[in-house]
Amino acid sequence: MFTISSKVVHPLHGLGTVEAIETQTILGKETRFWLIFFPELGLRMMVNTRVSGHAEKLRQVIHKDTVDELFDYLQQSQGEGPARAAWRMRINLERLKSGDVFQVCDVIKNLVSVSERVRKFSPKEKTLLDQAVATLASELAFVEGCSIEEMKERLMRTAKGLEKKPRSRARAAASVAAS
């Protein structure tokens, strides 16, 4: 599925690189592992290639065409969720663990909406928001070729409704040619 130097995304750790594929003998059985490095966290993780749940969480990096669609979705989605913080936390954590980039956008939008509505934003929700933004930003920054900090800022501006959809290159070129 993945080879050495493949870029992979883990739902809770973000963008990583497969550094090695190792075979180890555990309880008399040969088992293969991906050794993955997550540079943002300085974390190395061994993932069993056969154990369901672990290997299934890893996925390939999204395609560049998906980035615009993702920002459109983030801009248009409504931040909604249960009124109780414990329920919101459980639902948003499940969405984050799903690994689906659009569900991660929902987590960001929901928590940004909550942070703007309530007087006291829960520290757990703040941590979850930071984790969701960091996870998504690491992947999008790689795809777009920009810094992670720039991508974090762009995600937050879009989630807060401060960033409008940029004009396409074709429309920008047409307006320059017309003037």
Taking the C-alpha atoms of residue 149 and residue 153, their distance in angstroms, rounded to an integer, is 6
**Secondary structure element (H or E) that encloses residue 78, with its range:** none
Interval 79-138: pLDDT, tens: 776 678 788 899 999 999 998 999 999 999 999 988 888 777 889 999 999 999 999 999
Closest of 42, 50, 52, 48 to residue 17, by C-alpha: 42
> Which residue do the tokens 């090695």 mark?
20
What confidence tier does 50 reach under pLDDT thresholds 50, 70, 90?
confident
Give the residue range(s) of CATH 2.40.10.170 domains in the chain. Answer: 7-60
Mean pLDDT of the chain: 86
What confidence tier does 10 reach under pLDDT thresholds 50, 70, 90?
very high
Non-local CB neighbours of 89 within 8 Å, separated by 6+ positions: 122, 124, 125, 128
Per-residue pLDDT averaged across 35-50, rounded?
91
Alpha-helical (H) ranges within the chain are 64-76, 85-98, 101-117, 123-144, 148-159, 169-178
Taking the C-alpha atoms of residue 173 and residue 179, their distance in angstroms, rounded to an integer, is 10
pLDDT at 177: 52
- pTM, two decimals, is 0.81
104 C-beta neighbours (distance < 10 Å), count: 25
pLDDT at 169: 46
Strand-pairing partners, residue 45, are 36
Domain 64-159 CATH superfamily: CarD-like, C-terminal domain (1.20.58.1290)
Give the residue range(s) of CATH 1.20.58.1290 domains in the chain. Answer: 64-159
> Which residue do the tokens 């996870």 mark?
135
Structural tokens at position 77: 């989605």
> What CATH number is given for 7-60 in this structure?
2.40.10.170
pLDDT at 119: 74
pLDDT at 93: 93
Structural tokens at position 85: 């913080």
Structural tokens at position 69: 């669609």
